[in-house]
Structure 1
Amino acid sequence: MAERSDTPDTNTPPQPLLDDEQLDRLDDFLDSDQVDEDALDLISAHGFLVALAVAPSEVPPTQWLAELFQGEPRYVDDAERDEIITLLTRLRDNAVAVLEQGGLPELPFELTLGGEPAEDTPIGDWCAGFMEGVFSDESAWFQDDEEAAATLLLPFMLLSGLFDDEPDMAELAKDQARQESLVVQLPELVLDLYLHYRVPSETPKPKPRKKTPSKGKQR
């Protein structure tokens, strides 16, 4: 099990959660007429499934598949259905495996906004998908320590563009340099969330008892 640490191990490069061929297969399917037009695309689905890997509660597959697809896709046959669901589940499970070892997940985009507003980039789409994963069981994310959860989730909320109507968030969104800094840190921020929710804090070592001076030495 990964050990809680304030500084993630960044010596190891981020780990891909699926290979290029598997990502292309999912991309083609999610971009096809076989799914509802409101279904998540590959980038958003990636963020959604990484959030499920981090989540403090287990969301049933029937629930998260319905949310990802916004209904039931028009599969060609049972074999295609099994193939797609297996790939989606594998992406989530691989994220758990990487994070469990204290590794960083590879994200499917360059970690830079290039001067663009976050919501106009794949980064914004990924973070919006991540927040959809949070919304799947929002109470579980905030029930134990609402303040800590809000702090850890703030970068994802900010970059998603979903909360720009809130004055405080709109003000933060104007700081392009801050957003660029958060984008670079996204893999580490995901690991921070995983450690917060999935890895218990280290048990403090018991403090040694103070020795009571013997009566003969008391003044």
Structure 2
Amino acid sequence: MFNANNNPLTDDELDLLETFIFSESVSEDSLDLIGIHGFLSAISICPEPVPTEEWQEAIFDGEPNWSEPGQKDAISALLVRWKNEIHNSLYSDTELEMPCDLTLESDGDEEAELEIWAQAFMEGVFLREDAWFNEDKEEVTAELMLPIMVASNLFDEPEFTEIRNNKRLANQMANEIPDILVDLYLAFHAPEK
């Protein structure tokens, strides 16, 4: 359902969120901004609702040590707005603006940013894996999600390794991800004809 509370986060608000994420108040295993975008994309597409408290705790890898009054409400409100923005974009059948380049090429030993995004997306999927891969939708989900699963580098089955080793094919699949997100959303949320 469309949500009116979707003013895009400003650069200052994203900076505030990033500063908080990298503060001592939050677990070192918390998602970064690119990861949060991937995770919220999955939560927005998820076939069944995930309670706010649950998905926010997953983002922070536990409950942060809130250091001042109102901090929890302020940070939570930013995350909810960001999720609403992503959801509304998908609901409107609009290609999602990605927070990273659509390539699996990386600088040196660093993971490609798209890999970080895709790993966090899969983390969101794993919160409700049964809903994503239920009998009715399993084939559609698996087919549509293949590029994201390849990008995540979380799966070591030979077919995934083979695709990742074919740089041209892997990057071609990576470029399809914004369209795939809309297709996944519609597969779960568009009324049956």
Q: TM-score, normalised by structure 1?
A: 0.79
Contact 1:115 1:176 in 2 (8 A): no
1:135 counterpart (126, 136, 153): 126
| 8 Å CA contact retained: 1:17, 1:106 | no
Note if contact 1:17-1:105 (Cα within 8 Å) is conserved in structure 2: no
* Matched residue, 1:87: 78
In structure 2, distance between residues paired with 1:160 and 1:19:
28
Pick the aligned partner of 2:9 from 14, 18, 21. 18
Q: Which runs of 5+ in 2 are unaligned?
A: none
Cα contact 2:106–2:112 (8 A) shared by 1: no
Q: Does 1:45 align with 2:36?
A: yes
How far is the alpha carbon of 1:185 from its aligned partner? 2.0
The residue number in structure 1 matching 2:27 is: 36
Unaligned runs of 5+ in 1: 3-15, 204-219
In structure 2, the partner of 1:167 is: 158
Q: 2:98 aligns with which of 97, 107, 114?
A: 107
Contact 2:119 2:152 in 1 (8 A): yes
Q: What is residue 124 of structure 1 aligned with on the other side?
A: 115
CA offsets 1:132-190 (integer angstroms, 9 cap, x no match):
01001000001122111111111111001111x22221111111111211222221111
Q: 2 CA distance for matches of 1:62 and 1:115?
A: 34
Aligned residue identity for 2:188: Y
Specify the alignment match of 1:184 in structure 2. Answer: 175
How far the C-alpha of 1:114 sits from its partner, in A, is 4.1
Equivalent-residue separation in structure 2 for 1:18 and 1:199 (angstroms): 27
The alpha carbon displacement at 1:17 in A equals 4.9
Cα 1:17–1:156 change in 2 (3 A) is farther
Match of 1:65 in 2: 56
2:141 paired with 1:152: no
Larger Rg: 1
CA distance in 2, matches of 1:156, 1:194: 14
CA positional deviation for 1:30: 1.2
Per-residue deviation, 1:191: 0.6
Structure 1 equivalent of residue 18 of structure 2: 27
Q: Taking CA–CA contacts closer than 8 Å with sequence separation of 6 or more, which of the two structures ends up with the larger relative contact order?
A: 1
TM-score scaled by structure 2?
A: 0.89
Question: Match of 1:130, as an amino acid?
Answer: F
> Over the residues paired in the alignment, what is the CA RMSD in angstroms?
2.2
- 1:99-130 CA-to-partner distances (Å, cap 9, x unmatched) read 1111112111122344669x811100000000
CA distance in 2, matches of 1:197, 1:188: 15
CA distance in 1, matches of 2:104, 2:8: 22
Call closer, same or farther: CA 1:114–1:168 in 2, change over 3 Å: closer
- Indicate if the aligned counterparts of 2:148 and 2:174 stay in contact, CA closer than 8 A: no
